[in-house]
Amino acid sequence: MPIGPTVRRLLGPLEKPTANLYRAFFVNLGRQIDQVHRWAPTASDILEIGCGEGAVCDRLASVYPSAQITGIDITPRAGRLGRTDSGRVHFANATAGEFAASHPGQFDLVLICDVMHHVPWDAHADLLQSAGRLLRPGGALVVKDWERITNIAHFLCAFSDRVITGDSVRYATAAEFQRLFESVFGPGSVAEQVRLPPWRNNVMFFVRPAVGGAA
């Protein structure tokens, strides 16, 4: 049984700052969102698939002050710790497939951040195809994940993912991600790849589907 829900209850009002400190050990979220903004500076309708409790959407709202931002997650707690005061940030309990069916072609930027290693291996292509259907023609997909590199950070990440979430996680290499994206969106669809501090396990891809999304 995952210990995450119990820990969150015990932390009470300290939950959000504690979650931010925990996240900062693994990734510099500020640098991550700044890089997203460099790749897609004019995005006006942004979707995060697998938004969790809203940390990335919070940062997106600050960096894109005029954009409409939506976060979806399969958990009913989607966006529970995120900001909603601006009226520009919205959260929904939905799968990517469900949301693609009701919101096709409505976003110029879609993000999937640290979700892929929680998704069953044989469901990766379906998730990416749903993301592609959500994009407008000319839109972009950003995928950030944790690469399988043997170091102390990877041991700690794998341990915390399994204990805190209870998920059966599986990590990919950057080369495996590259092949996956090109199998779904076509050769040359990965426009750029970067590493994020503080660990080189953090890898992020800027993907441009050939014609407005996956088939």
CATH code at position 119: 3.40.50.150
Sheet holding 107-113, edge to edge: 89-93, 68-73, 45-49, 107-113, 135-146, 202-207, 190-195
Q: Is residue 212 part of a domain?
A: no
pLDDT digits (tens, 9 = 90+) for 136-167: 999 999 999 999 998 999 999 998 888 777 77
User: Which one of 23-27, 75-79, 142-146 scores highest in mean pLDDT?
Assistant: 142-146
Q: Is residue 213 part of a domain?
A: no
- The C-alpha atoms of residue 181 and residue 128 are separated, in whole angstroms, by 8
Q: Is residue 73 part of a domain?
A: yes
197: preceding bond cis by omega (within 30 degrees): no
Q: Is the pLDDT of residue 61 over 70?
A: yes
Q: Is 162 or 13 the better-scoring residue by pLDDT?
A: 162
For the chain, what is the domain count? 1
pLDDT digits (tens, 9 = 90+) for 102-128: 999 999 999 999 999 999 999 999 999
pTM for the whole thing?
A: 0.90
Find the domain containing 35 and state its range.
Answer: 4-207
Q: Across all residues in the chain, what is the average pLDDT? A: 88
**pLDDT on residue 83:** 63
13: preceding bond cis by omega (within 30 degrees): no
The amino acid present at 133, given as its one-letter code, is R
Q: Is residue 155 part of a domain?
A: yes
